[in-house]
Every structure is written in structure tokens, then in C-alpha cells.
Amino acid sequence: SAFSIQRRSLRTGQKLKRAFLLVNYFRDSHFPASTMRHGRAKASRRTLQFYRLNAPHLKSPYKLLLDGTFLVSSIRNKVPLYERFAKTLQHEDFTCYVTRSTLEELETLSKSKNNSTTADSDENDNPFAQARQYGLDECEIIENDRIPSTNNGDTTKRVGKAFKNFSQASLDIFNIATEGGNNRKAYFVATQDDALADALRGMPYVPLFRLGRAVLLLESPSSASRSYTGNIEQTKLASAGGLMTAEERKMVDKVNKKDKLKRKEMRLEEQKKMEKRSRHEIGGGFNTRRKKKAKGPNPLSCKSKKG
């Protein structure tokens, strides 16, 4: 009957659902999340290729500048940073860096965390202390005297109001990553701070790492990087790769102008020849399109004047 068929189909659906869950469990247990998904790996390769082609100073061995928010997030989500960075960077050599101001900021947060918790709480419960310890053990420290100051007015205009709200640690990272206007020291920045990330996206050639829970992501090149690259390519085309002088450019423009006028004259001559030929063969005028002139209104559609 219809009722028995319905029950049978319901059982089949439940069996399929159970089989699907088992397949997912088997996949997760035998192939852990540490293996990069194909889509993310492909996107990372494309991003690295873009920087290799357009920003030659961003090359192996890579320099990764980590901020406090990123370190704390990695501790909370138990992310094996070295392993994930190696996979994302196609197993190229890299070094992690942290600023002295970031370590000081983490130390302050760690102390405030300890003061707010009870004396019996374990030190492992303090992610700020663990993040600071990771920075001391695994990263090279950039001292304050090696950090450039912010004197570029154009950079300040690009960042806007967010620049004033930066902490000292964020300000130091921003100054390092934007030195020379296009990340001259070739740092990759890893941050979870949205204000800092937005400010760095407005500057060309600053690659950004971020964490989506336990997933490490390398962001695709920002619009600032792409437009900067486009401007450079246009300049190269205009100057023949930088080999053409201003005088040579003027000469080329002059020749192009003459060539354009010559082509126009040839088209007019060809049109006159065709017109002559049609007159001889057909005995009429050359059929050229004429613009339709505006006509007056239809007298039948107009209202008659009242006498």
C-alpha cells in the first residue's frame, strides 16, 4: 500500500543519512584538518605567484610579522602555526617576527588576566601568557629602535581616523609593513585586528594572514596592490619598458597622428571611387545614408483651434 511504500522510503533515507555520517567520520579521522583543502592551496599559490611576479622583493625566505591578536587566537584555537605556515607558503623557508611592543602588550594583558582570576587558576588557562611565551621562544624580536617613524602624510591620509585609534603595537606593525610606501622590507603580516587589516589593505604589496577559527588563510591581493600593479604596467607600456625618452615618445605620437590622418584620407578616396563607379554603372547617384530631419506634428492628431 501507499503507507508501506512511504515507510520503506523513510527507512532508506535514514540508512543513507547514517552512511553519509559514517563516511564523514572516516574522512575526518583518517585525513585530519591539517591537510590543506585543494581550493585554499590553489588560492595561496595564485597569491604567492602574483607577489613573485609584481613585487620581486617579496621572495623566499619569507618574513612573517605576527601581532598579539593573531598569537592569542592561535593559542585559543590550538593551531600549529609552524606547520600551517609551511603548507600555505609551499614549504618555502620563512622566519616569524614579533615587535617588542607586542610582547609588552601581551604581558600587560596577561597580568590583568591573572589579577582578575583566582590564585588557584592554572597558568595554561591564560592565553596571553602563552602567546607571549610563543613570541619569545619561536619568533625573532624587532626592537623599538629598528622601527621607522610615521612621517609620510600621504600614508596618514589613506588610513584616516583608524590611524589615531591604533595601539602602540598596531602602530609599530603598520610602520614596518608600509616602510617605503610598498612594503620595502617585504613582511607578511598576520593579524586578527580588523582596523589594522583594513589600513594595510589600503597599502600596496602587504600580504595578510588571518585565522578563520582554526583555518589559516592567506588573503588574495588587495585592490590597492592590483591598481598599483596596473599603473606600473601602463607606465611600462607608455615608455616601452622604461627605455623610451620623452623626445622619442613625442616622435612616436607624431608618427601615429600622421598615420591616422593618412588612413582617413584613404577611406575618403575609396568612398569617392565607389560613388563614381556606381554613377557610371547604374546611372544614378551614390546611395549614402542621410540623417532624417525632424518633421512637424501630424495635423490629424492635433486638436483643432476653437473659433
Q: How far apart are CA 44 and CA 113, in angstroms?
A: 36
What is the distance in angstroms between the CA of the first residue and the CA of the last residue of the chain?
A: 87
pLDDT at 161: 57
126 vs 37 pLDDT, higher one: 126
Spatial contact of 98 and 141, defined as CB atoms under 8 Å apart: yes
pLDDT at 241: 60
Q: How far apart are CA 121 and CA 2, in angstroms?
A: 63
- Cut 0.95: pTM above it: no
User: Residue 198: is its pLDDT beyond 60?
Assistant: yes
The candidate with the shortest Cα–Cα distance to 34, out of 84, 77, 74, 82, is 84
pLDDT at 29: 47
With b for 16 or more beta-carbon neighbours within 10 A and e for fewer, the 185-222 pattern comes to ebbbbbbbbebbbebbbbbbbbbbbbbeeeebebbebb
51-74 pLDDT, tens digit per residue, is: 998 888 898 899 999 999 999 999
119-161 pLDDT, tens digit per residue, is: 555 667 889 999 999 999 999 999 988 888 765 555 555 555 5
Spatial contact of 117 and 66, defined as CB atoms under 8 Å apart: no
pLDDT at 159: 56
Please state, in angstroms and as integers, the Cα–Cα distance from residue 140 to each residue in 79, 100, 103, following that order.
20, 10, 11
pLDDT at 299: 78
99-110 pLDDT, tens digit per residue, is: 999 999 999 999
pLDDT at 24: 58
Strands 94-99 and 208-212: unpaired
pLDDT at 217: 92
User: Residue 305: is its pLDDT beyond 80?
Assistant: no
**By three-state DSSP, how is residue 108 classified?**
helix
Q: Would you say the C-alpha torsion 168, 169, 170, 172 has a positive or negative sign?
A: positive
pLDDT at 14: 67
pLDDT at 34: 43
Q: How confident is the model at residue 201 (pLDDT cuts 50, 70, 90)?
A: very high
- Helix 127-138 and helix 100-116, axial crossing angle in degrees, nearest 10: 150
Pick the range with the lowest mean pLDDT from 111-120, 227-236, 287-296: 287-296
The arithmetic mean of pLDDT across residues 199-222, rounded, is: 92
Measured from the Cβ of residue 114, the count of other Cβ atoms closer than 10 Å reads 16
DSSP assignment, residue 124?
G
pLDDT at 237: 72
247 vs 82 pLDDT, higher one: 82
Please state, in angstroms and as integers, the Cα–Cα distance from residue 225 to each residue in 40, 76, 164, following that order.
20, 32, 24
195 vs 5 pLDDT, higher one: 195
pLDDT at 271: 85
The arithmetic mean of pLDDT across residues 265-286, rounded, is: 74
